[in-house]
Amino acid sequence: MKFFTGCLLWALFLMLQAQSNGVGIGTGAPPHPSAMLDIQDTTGGLLYPRLTTAQRNAINTPAPGLTIFNTTSQCFEAYFANGWKATACACNSFPDPSFTIPGFVPVNQAASFSATTGGATYAWTFPSGTPASSTLQNPQITWANTGTYTVKLVVTDNQGCADSSTQSVTVTNCPPPGSQTFSYTGSPQSFTVPACVTSIQVDVRGAQGGNGGNGQYCSNTVLGGNGGRVQATLAVSPGQVLSVIVGQKGGNGQSFCSASCNGGVGGYGGSFDGLSAANTGGSLRASGGGGGGASYVVLGGNNVLIAGGGGGGGANNHGNQSTAGGKGGHPNYGGNGGCAAGTVASCTQCSGGGGGPGQGGQGFASQGTNISTTTGFQTNDGSVIISW
């Protein structure tokens, strides 16, 4: 009789707890309205069925959502339409959640992010970004507004073990890194330092000297020297204006002149003309090449970077007085013109009948860091390259 009474009371308890289409087990409080089964207890937990992988695989037609604890893998697993998946595991190690961020993030330009760990799943969060989240390992994100945003990445490995990390990204109105190349124009040019830029890398190259002309018997062209080069990093301020002068290649000397030979014109940038030669005794003469122009960068009224032009090539005469090439741009850093001689000898050496090649220009810096100079580097016209 007591057994029957106990069963009846338990049945009534379950009926009372089954209100609102839910069943409650435990303390007697009504089940939560959102739960079909509400287990309430402070001394124990819910123990899932424990199966090995082989036992799990033996389940016939598992229903989507079926959940077990796999004693082989030590993972809670659930069945999905595409098979069994680990939902949580006993993790002895965790994936590396670190990621790289771009050093420069401008407004409305895609920024690249990259997770360190491969072969995992990724859950990115990009506040105010487009897109605001991603599951790619290497997503690209754009922000429409400036500000500092905290990017979060959660990495989950194939065992269901996960870890996360965050980094702050600052989005600015600053332009992206870039460069500008200045070529010879025959007049000064200007460069305005972009917003947010406080240092620039400058590569200044002087122009090559002109070639020497050939005389009556010699036809070996004597080349002008190459222009010098200087590279440096300059400290600047946004909006500051620099003046840029790019040297011009020296003009070539004249060859086989029956009358007077005019020397090659010195290139723009402060160079010197090649020497002319008069025709005497009926011989065919030649004149020297003009010096190459120097290239300059002017900051605060001072020539802070100078690349001298190459010297012009000497004239290549044979048995008659030869003429030297012009000096390169800038008196201290431009190359000397090729030498000249008037004795009958070799047509290719200064000590004989031929004029020598012009010397290469040098580079000079009065300001800056990371300075390097190269003698005799540039061919043809000079150039100035500014990067930031």
Segment 244-266, tens digit of pLDDT: 999 999 999 888 877 777 888 98
Q: Are both 168 and 184 inside the same structural domain?
A: no
SS3 call for 370: strand
> Residue 26 falls within a domain, yes or no?
no
The answer as to whether 280 is a domain residue is yes
Does 236 reside within a domain? Answer: yes
- Verify that 247 and 364 share a domain, yes or no: yes
Whole-model pTM above 0.85? no
The edge-to-edge listing of strands for the beta sheet with 129-130 is: 111-112, 140-143, 129-130
- Pair 158, 231 in one domain: no
3-state DSSP assignment of residue 98: coil
CA within 13 Å, CB half, 331: 0
Burial 307-317 (b: 16+ CB within 10 A, else e): bbbbbbbbbbb
**In the prediction, which pLDDT does 241 show?**
96
Q: Which residue has the higher pLDDT, 83 or 372?
A: 372
The answer to whether position 10 is within a domain reads no
Tell me the residue type at 383: S
Mean pLDDT value across residues 349-376? 82
Which position has the token pair 């040098």?
A: 362
Q: Which of 209, 247, 206, 246 is nearest to 363 (CA)?
A: 206
Report if residue 22 sits inside a domain. no
DSSP state of 127: T
Please give the residue that has the higher pLDDT: either 319 or 255. 255
Can you give the residue range of the structural domain that contains 67? 45-90
Picking from 55, 90, 125, the residue at the C-terminal end of a domain is 90
Q: Taking Cα atoms as reference points, which of 100, 80, 78 lies closest to residue 88?
A: 78
Of the candidates 172, 187, 210, which is a domain's last residue?
172
Domain co-membership, 224 together with 343: yes
